[in-house]
Amino acid sequence: MRLFHGMSDKHSEKRARRASKRAKLHSKRMEYLLDKKTPFAITEAFRNLKAALSVSVPKRDGGVAIMATSAYPQDGKTTVTVNLALMFAISNAKVVIVDGDIRKGRVAKYFKEKNTPGLSDYLSGQNSLDEVIRQTETDKNLSYIPCGTHSPKPYELLESEAMKSLIEELRTRYDYVIIDTPPVLLLSDALAIAPVIDGTVLVCRHQVSYISDVARALNTLSFAKANVLGVVVNDFKLPPTKSRGNYDSYYYYSYAYGSTDSPAEDKND
Amino acid sequence: MEENMQTEDGISLLDIFRLLLSKIKILLLVVLLGAILGAALGVWKTHNVDYYGTSVEFYVNPEKKSVSSDNTQQGGSQYGVYGAYGRHVMDNMVRLLGSEIFAEQLMLGGNVLPAKQEGNTSLNAKIDVAEPLLEIVEQKQAKAKEYSASYEEKLSTYNSADNRLNDVWKTLYLAEKVKQPSFSEAEYMTYVGKAGYTNLETAYSDKQTAQKKLESAWENFAVAQAAANEAQENASTAVEEALTEWRNMDSYKGLLNRIVGSTKYAYVQGNTDAEDANNLARSFIYVKISVLNDKEFSEDLLERIKKIVPIYIEANMAVPDGYQGTNCQPTTTINQIVLTNPGYTRSQTIKYALLLAAVTGVVACVVVILLDRSDKRLRDYDVITKKFNIPVLGVVPAIDDLVPETPKKKTEKDTEVKV
């Protein structure tokens, strides 16, 4: 039984701390929201991710609920979640981001707003759903629910019937419900949600995440009966011989071919 | 992207090249540091390394015994036939010169006793004992030599007297012959006369006197020689004790090693078939002196070598049959101690810098490769599909690696998302 092996493994904790420390150095630069200045390669990567997820998620009535998690912190799952949601929203799908990391949610920071009231407040019955759902200024199709007030029992909240009802309710309102959850090898919060959603995306960070950790995370998710759709490799470092040049040329090629103003403006096409 | 992928099982040269290229700045820095370290090491090790030295050449040849006494008188080496020594003889001599035995002779500088050492009272006391004994030996030997000369003189006188007696006796014998059978006594007496007898008696008497003097001289010489030998024995014991004390000193071993390490001996063999001195007959022994950071020592050593080597070679070189001895002389009279390694520090510094740069470069490359191979972090996303049979839905490039947009003035439009 290796379900919570990672949570009790001292070695893993050490490794997590180390990875966290290392990643913190770059965390500021990793937190970004796609905009006009975002390099084309990154925009294109999220576009490809959106396309891949679109075909990976099983078809069903109502909206699709997807969960993003990672093995350890600082792998960039919130960045991936937010930008993936934004990419869905840009393609005219109604999307809501749910910040399932009640302990350390960061989704609201991407939109420069506060975390409260949010998910925990709704689940504990202190606020209504409409009070916690926020429309972003970034895109009219994109809404989000922040993590809310810090709760001493986040797992219980996420495991509650209220959470299941919330997801069902959101499915009726939105085309995509994308939930950002805590690291699966450190906390069990993600496992509480995993069975009631359509698919799980595991985010790992290039040259930071250990393959063994990815394996343990996948084992943990599969044991929790999560439908793992696939892995997203974040912060991929281009080899020196391939960096810049190729992407730039693609960028300018696309820029010239698709639009006369800016590559970012092809949203309106 | 596929070019970036590598299997876990193998790594191609291209991958290694790319890996090293990706770390080129670190590698160059390490090489540079290695070069600096090497240069520093080179300077540190060689900044005070000055070798002083020179080469001295000696010719060595056996002197053949002269055929006639005239030749001997005129100098055997000049008229004798020259022939070079065999290779084994030269080998042995060079080996002997390079030994500690000869190094000790150089230390003694041709003396029997070592010089007194400051602070070593025991040695100095033994030298004080041995020195008067050696003086006595010298005196006794001088006396013996004096008696020997006297004996030689007396022997010569005796031989002359003996010859004269023989001559007189021969005359008498002839006279006896003449007398018989026809010569009468009167005729005999007439022929020899009283003077003949007188001469005989005088010659006989002279011989007796010379013999007595000779025997006396021989006795004197024998006594003197015995006294000299006894003094020699006494002195030898005292000298040996002093030498033993000297050899037990720490400075002795250090100086001995320094001399052995500072001198090198070699030879060039002459033509063994040559028949004269000007036709490649001479063999040469070369002494190379090289002393570290001590010009005075090297100059002193040079003087000692020029003085001792010929004596030692002439005394110790094996002389083949038909030869009377060995002639050894330095071929040059002026030898100057010079600095033999100008620019040594610079060349050594460059050598060390290059060597350490190369070593650190190679080590750094190996370390980079080993670290890369031992790194079990996610580097190749294809592994995920292969290992876990899970698709890679997307690969998001690192934003740092990509070219940032040309800085523009911020407008309100920038805040809107337009992707």
Q: Which residues, listed in sequence order, are joined to residue B290 by a DSSP beta bridge?
A: B53
Interface probe with B: pick from A37, A260, A267, most Cβ of B within 10 Å: A37
Closest among A160, A116, A154 to A134, alpha carbons compared:
A116
Is B409 in a helix, a strand, or coil? Answer: coil
B407 touches chain A (CB under 8 A): no
Dist CA B402 CA B413 (whole Å) = 22
B405 touches chain A (CB under 8 A): yes
What mean pLDDT value characterizes chain B?
81
Dist CA B350 CA A200 (whole Å) = 62
Q: What is the pLDDT of residue B82?
A: 55
- The verdict on a CB contact (< 8 Å) between B396 and A235 is yes
Dist CA A147 CA A127 (whole Å) = 13
- The verdict on a CB contact (< 8 Å) between B381 and A233 is yes
Dist CA A144 CA A82 (whole Å) = 9
Residues of B in contact with A29 (CB under 8 A): 399-400
B396 touches chain A (CB under 8 A): yes
Is B388 in a helix, a strand, or coil? Answer: helix
Interface probe with B: pick from A91, A138, A206, most Cβ of B within 10 Å: A206
- Nearest-Cα distance to chain B for A162, in Å, is 31
Identify the residue with better confidence: B415 or A177: A177
Q: How far does CA B131 lie from the centroid of its chain?
A: 29
DSSP string covering A152-218: S-HHHHHHSHHHHHHHHHHHHH-SEEEEE---TTT-SHHHHHGGGSSEEEEEEETTTSBHHHHHHHH
- Nearest-Cα distance to chain A for B9, in Å, is 15
Residue A138 DSSP one-character state: S
Identify the residue with better confidence: B256 or A17: B256
Q: Which residues of B364-397 are buried (b: 16+ CB within 10 A; e: fewer)?
A: bbeebbeebeeeebbbebebbeeebebebbbbbb
Q: Which helix (H) or strand (E) covers residue A68, if one does?
A: strand A64-70
- The verdict on a CB contact (< 8 Å) between B18 and A241 is yes
pLDDT classification of B72: cutoffs 50, 70, 90: very low
Q: Give the N- to C-terminal CA distance of chain B in Å, as an integer.
A: 24
Q: What is the pLDDT of residue B184?
A: 59
Identify the residue with better confidence: A256 or B194: B194
Dist CA A104 CA A101 (whole Å) = 6
Q: What share of chain A is helix, strand, coil (3-state, %, to 5)?
A: 50, 15, 35
- Nearest-Cα distance to chain A for B291, in Å, is 56
- The verdict on a CB contact (< 8 Å) between B396 and A239 is no
Question: Which of A178-187, B90-99, B333-342 bottoms out in mean pLDDT, i.e. has the lowest?
Answer: B333-342
Q: What is the pLDDT of residue B381?
A: 83
Q: What is the pLDDT of residue A176?
A: 94
- The verdict on a CB contact (< 8 Å) between B383 and A237 is no
B223 touches chain A (CB under 8 A): no
Task: Judge whether A94 and A104 are in contact, CB under 8 Å.
Answer: no
Dist CA A66 CA A81 (whole Å) = 10
Q: Which residues, listed in sequence order, are joined to residue B218 by a DSSP beta bridge?
A: none
Interface probe with A: pick from B396, B416, B418, most Cβ of A within 10 Å: B396
Dist CA A71 CA A16 (whole Å) = 9
Q: Which helix (H) or strand (E) covers residue B303, if one does?
A: helix B295-316
Task: Give the mean pLDDT of B307-320.
Answer: 87
pLDDT classification of B120: cutoffs 50, 70, 90: confident
Q: What is the pLDDT of residues B262-288, one digit of tens each?
A: 999 999 887 666 555 555 567 889 999
pLDDT classification of B11: cutoffs 50, 70, 90: low
Q: What is the pLDDT of residue B345?
A: 85
Q: What is the pLDDT of residue B274?
A: 58
Question: For B374, which residue in chain A has the nearest alpha carbon?
Answer: A210
Q: What is the pLDDT of residue A237?
A: 84
- The verdict on a CB contact (< 8 Å) between A86 and B419 is yes
Q: Which residues, listed in sequence order, are joined to residue A261 by a DSSP beta bridge?
A: none
**Average pLDDT per consecutive 10 residues, chain A (269 residues; last block may be shorter):** 43 60 55 86 93 86 91 91 95 94 91 91 93 93 94 91 94 94 92 91 92 92 92 84 47 38 38
Report the complex ipTM: 0.82
Question: Which of B6-10, B167-171, B301-305, B337-341 bottoms out in mean pLDDT, i.e. has the lowest?
Answer: B6-10
Q: What is the 3-state secondary structure (H, E, C) of B110-170?
A: CCCCCCCCCCCHHHHHHHHHHHHHHHHHHHHHHHHHHHHHHHHHHHHHHHHHHHHHHHHHH
Dist CA B415 CA B419 (whole Å) = 12
Q: Scan for tokens 């990875």, then name that residue.
A: A19
B21 touches chain A (CB under 8 A): yes
- The verdict on a CB contact (< 8 Å) between B394 and A209 is no
Q: What is the pLDDT of residue B65?
A: 62
- The verdict on a CB contact (< 8 Å) between B404 and A205 is no
Tokens of A174: 């939105």
A210 touches chain B (CB under 8 A): yes
Task: Give the mean pLDDT of B297-315.
Answer: 92
- The verdict on a CB contact (< 8 Å) between B397 and A87 is no
Residues of A in contact with B419 (CB under 8 A): 34-36, 38, 43, 86-87, 90, 264, 266-267
Closest among A257, A202, A232, A238 to A68, alpha carbons compared:
A202
Q: Is pLDDT of B50 > 50?
A: yes
Identify the residue with better confidence: B87 or B244: B244
> Around Cβ B166, how many Cβ atoms within 10 Å?
13
Q: Is pLDDT of B354 > 90?
A: yes
Residues of B in contact with A38 (CB under 8 A): 399, 419
**A&B contacts, CB < 8 Å:** 167
Q: What is the pLDDT of residue A145?
A: 96
Q: Which of residues 238-257 of A touch B (CB under 8 A)?
A: 238-244, 247-248
Measure CB to CB from residue A236 to each of B22, B388, B396 and give the nearest one: B396
Tokens of A266: 């092809």
